[in-house]
Amino acid sequence: MIPVLVIFLREGVEASLIIAILLAYLNRAGLRKHFRDVFIGVGAAMLLAAGGGAAAYLTIRSYAGSTAQTVFETVTYLVAAVALTYMTFWMRGHARGLSGELRDRADAAVSNGARTGLALLAFQAVGREGLETVVFTLAIAFSTSGQSTLVGAVLGLVIALAIAFGIYRLGHRFNLGRFFAVVGGLLMVFGAGLLADAVQNMQELRWLPFASQPLWDTSRILSEDGTLGDIAHSFFGYAQAPTALQALVYGAYLCVALVFFFRRRPVAAAPAASTA
C-alpha cells in the first residue's frame, strides 16, 4: 500500500499542479470559457490511463504463474525504473520553471484560436502522468493484494489533491522544489528495488545465470510473506535472500542516482508570461 500511495501522491501532485496552473492562467486572462476544454482533456487522459492499466493487469493476470507473466513483470520493472529515474530528474530540474512554460504553451494555444489546443495540452500533461502511474503501479500490483493497491491509490490521490489545494492557496510560500526533492529521493530507493526485482526474475529465467548464490537469509527475522516484510520489499526493495548480483545492482544504482540527484541544481525559473 505504501509504495502505491507514494507513487499516486507524487504523480497526483504533478498532474493537479499542472491543471491548477492552466486554470489560474485562464482565469486571470478572463478566459474561463476554456475551462471546459481543459476538463475534457483531463477526463480523456484519465479514462485512457485507467482503461489501459486495467486491460494490461487483467490480461497478464490470466497468465498467473507462467513464464509469460514473469517476462512481463521483468519488462515492467525495467521500464518503470527507467521512466521513474528520468521523470524524477526532469522534475527536479524544471520544477521552478514549470509555471512559466505552461503559461507560454497555453497562451500559444489560445492565440491560435484552437479550442482543442488547450484540451490537447491538458490531455498530454495528465496523460503522461497517468501512463507513468500505470507502469509504476503494475510493477507493484503483481506482488501485493488488489485491496492494498486500491487503498494506497485512493489515499495518495486524496493527499495529492489536498497538497495541490494548499499550493493554490499558499502560492510561492510553498517550496515546490523541496517537495519534489524529498519525494524524488524516496522514489530513487523504490527504483533500486525495481531493478533488484528485475534481476531476480532474470536469474530465475536463466537470462543472467551468474552471481546467483544468496548472500544471506533473513526470512526468520523478517519474512517477505509477512506484512512488514511485504512493505519493506515493495518500497525499499528488501530481499530476504538476495543474490550477489541483486545486491550489486541495488547498491550501485542507489549510490549513483542519489549522488547525482541531490547534486543537481534546479533550472532557474523562466520569466512569468504577462497576462495583461
pLDDT score for 128: 80
pLDDT score for 101: 67
Cell triple for 61: 493476470
Beta carbons of 18 and 103 less than 8 angstroms apart: no
Most confident of 41-45, 62-66, 145-149, 182-186: 41-45
pLDDT score for 276: 35
Q: Is the pLDDT of residue 275 over 80?
A: no
Binning the chain into helix, strand and coil, the percentages to the nearest 5 are 75, 0, 20
Q: Residues of the chain with pLDDT > 70: what percent? A: 80
Q: Is the pLDDT of residue 199 over 90?
A: yes
Question: How far is 146 from 112, CA to CA, in rounded Å?
Answer: 45
Confidence at 268, pLDDT banded by 50, 70, 90: very low
Q: What digits encode the pLDDT tens for the residues 92-105? A: 666 566 666 666 77
pLDDT score for 251: 94
Q: Which residue has the higher pLDDT, 178 or 162?
A: 162
Quick one: residue 34, left, alpha or beta (phi over 0 = left, psi -120 to 50 = alpha)? Answer: alpha
Over range 186-205, report the average pLDDT: 89
Question: How far is 116 from 162, CA to CA, in rounded Å?
Answer: 29
Of the listed ranges 126-130, 142-146, 205-209, 255-259, the one predicted with least confidence = 142-146
pLDDT score for 181: 77
> Does the predicted model carry a pTM greater than 0.85?
no
Q: Which residue has the higher pLDDT, 37 or 274?
A: 37
Over range 147-164, report the average pLDDT: 79
Most confident of 54-58, 63-67, 71-75: 71-75
Over range 239-257, report the average pLDDT: 93
Q: Where are the domains of the chain?
A: 2-263
Beta carbons of 230 and 144 less than 8 angstroms apart: yes
